[in-house]
């Protein structure tokens, strides 16, 4: 019964997802038509369509940038962030389409326009990358079975390291054998020292798991029964550390793409405003 409920839930969720995609695509298409048709009409009546597409572009970019402001003032009841994100994604796709409509080609001619276009493309690509990351990483993080706030990760790593070191010392004291402690110092101390295998977690590979299995299998044969108990506890801590490392890698990726996206947005807006000024001085 529970299996059937899950399947139905997945089906409904998938269907809802597709409906949202369809609504998004329709909004983008309608908005694009609302810009392209007057622009086409302006061109057909011997006017300059770039006035329409240019100012539309500027408006779209300001709207997209407003998302950042919205996040800075979460206390105001300005529609749920979820819908802002949805509108931001639709607006981003629309901006790319209107940009091509505006410049009438993929790559402009002038040096200044090329800088503007390069920054715009970088912004768009970083945005698409961010969208991709936001779609993929959360499910991966859920699969770790752990929840941790990014800012608390250093605390957690320090705690795990302390617990592991305490276990190693206690094992030596109680069993009178230093095998596990020596092995910890030689091999596992590095692992507990900081987040490891970050690139591997971003790629989604299992390098850390294999590394740990190999290390523990190597040392297990040299330990007596009492030490084996401590080793099992160490393994549990290492697994927890592995999950935290996965969180660190995923959450770092979820945050760091904005390091490219947000500065580019600001620069694009500045250059676009100056571009509009130049157009009014020279072309109008």
Partner 1 sequence: MNEAEKFRHDRSTYERPNVPFRCGRAVAWGQPCWQGPDARGDCGGQFECSPTHNQDRWECRRPTRAGGPCKQGPLPDGQCCNSRPLCQPRPSLRRLRGRVTLMLLAIAAALIFAFSNPVSTIFPSVAAIDPGPLSNAHAGFIGTDKCESCHVGHTQTGIAWLAQVFEEHDNDAKCLQCHTFDGPSRSAHNRKFPNRQTLPQPECATCHKEHKGAEFDLAAVSSQVCGNCHTQQFNDFSSGHPQFAAQFPYQVPNAIYFDHNAHLQQHFASAGEKAVDAPAVAEFAQRAKRDCTACHEIATATREVTPRPFEQTCGHCHQQQITARSLPLLLADSLTPASALLLGTSDDADDADEQVVALIAAMAEGGLEAFAQPFEQWQLQRGEKMLEGLTSEVLQAAAKAWENEDDYTPPATDIHVSGWHAGTDADENQSIRYEPRGHRDPVLKAWFDVVADLAASHKDAALRDVAKQTLEQLLDSSEGPGACGKCHVAGITSVDSQGLSVPYWGFRGPVERRHTSYAHAPHLNLLGGPEACGTCHIVNPASNYADYFEDPERQPSQFMSNFEPIVKNTCDSCHKPSKVRFDCQLCHTYHRNPSFNVGFQIKRLARNE
| C-beta of 25 vs 273, nearer to partner 1 | 273
- What's the CA gap between 279 and 7, in Å, rounded? 57
Binding of residue 75 to partner 1 (CB under 8 A):
no
- What are the percentages of helix, strand and coil residues in the chain, rounded to 5? 85, 0, 15
CB of 252 to partner 1, least distance (A): 8
* Local structure of residue 183 (DSSP, 8 states): H
Binding of residue 15 to partner 1 (CB under 8 A):
no
Stretch that binds partner 1, among 43-51, 132-140, 176-184, 203-211 (CB under 8 A): 43-51
Beta-carbon contacts of residue 210 (< 8 Å; ≥ 6 apart): none
Asked if residue 94 lies in contact with residue 31, where contact means CB atoms within 8 angstroms, the answer is yes
| C-beta of 71 vs 203, nearer to partner 1 | 71
Site for partner 1 in 255-274 (CB under 8 A): 255-256, 258-259, 262-264, 266-267, 270-271, 274
Site for partner 1 in 130-169 (CB under 8 A): 146-152, 154-159, 162
CB of 157 to partner 1, least distance (A): 6
| C-beta of 227 vs 245, nearer to partner 1 | 245
**Residue 227 exposure: Cα atoms within 13 Å on the Cβ side:** 21
* Local structure of residue 186 (DSSP, 8 states): I
The correct pick among 1, 46, 76, 106 for binding partner 1 (CB under 8 A) is: 46
CB of 206 to partner 1, least distance (A): 23
CB of 207 to partner 1, least distance (A): 19
Site for partner 1 in 20-39 (CB under 8 A): none
Cα–Cα–Cα angle for 52, 54, 59, rounded to 5 degrees:
95
Please report, for residues 19, 124, 148, 249, 262, the alpha-carbon distance to residue 243 in angstroms, rounded to integers and kept in the order given: 34, 32, 10, 10, 29
Please report, for residues 46, 167, 179, 235, 259, the alpha-carbon distance to residue 35 in angstroms, rounded to integers and kept in the order given: 17, 67, 73, 60, 31
Binding of residue 282 to partner 1 (CB under 8 A):
yes
CB of 109 to partner 1, least distance (A): 3
Binding region for partner 1 (CB under 8 A): 43-48, 108-113, 146-152, 154-159, 162, 193-195, 255-256, 258-259, 262-264, 266-267, 270-271, 274, 277-278, 280-284
């Amino acid at each position: 019964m529970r299996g059937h409920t899950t399947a139905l839930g997945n089906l409904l969720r998938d269907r809802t997802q597709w409906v949202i995609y369809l609504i998004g695509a329709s909004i983008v298409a309608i908005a694009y038509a609302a810009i392209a048709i007057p622009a086409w009409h302006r061109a057909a009546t011997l006017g300059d369509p770039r006035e329409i597409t240019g100012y539309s572009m500027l408006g779209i970019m300001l709207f997209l940038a407003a998302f950042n402001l919205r996040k800075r003032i979460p206390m105001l009841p300005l529609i749920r962030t979820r819908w802002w994100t949805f509108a931001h994604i639709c607006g981003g796709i629309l901006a790319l389409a209107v940009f091509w409509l505006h410049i009438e080609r993929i790559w402009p001619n002038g040096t200044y326009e090329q800088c503007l276009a390069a920054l715009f493309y970088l912004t768009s690509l970083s945005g698409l990358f961010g969208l991709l990351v936001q779609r993929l990483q959360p499910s991966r993080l859920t699969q770790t079975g752990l929840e941790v706030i990014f800012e608390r990760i250093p605390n957690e790593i320090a705690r795990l390291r302390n617990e592991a070191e305490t276990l190693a010392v206690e094992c030596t004291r109680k069993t009178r054998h230093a095998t596990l402690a020596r092995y910890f110092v030689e091999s596992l101390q590095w692992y507990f020292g900081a987040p490891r295998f970050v690139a591997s977690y971003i790629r989604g590979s299992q390098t850390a798991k294999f590394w740990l299995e190999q290390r523990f299998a190597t040392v297990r044969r040299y330990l007596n029964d009492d030490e084996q108990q401590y080793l099992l506890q160490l393994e549990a801590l290492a697994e927890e550390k592995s999950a935290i490392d996965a969180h660190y890698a995923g959450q770092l990726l979820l945050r760091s793409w904005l390091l490219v996206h947000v500065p580019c947005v600001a620069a694009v807006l500045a250059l676009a405003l100056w571009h509009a000024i130049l157009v009014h001085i020279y072309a109008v």
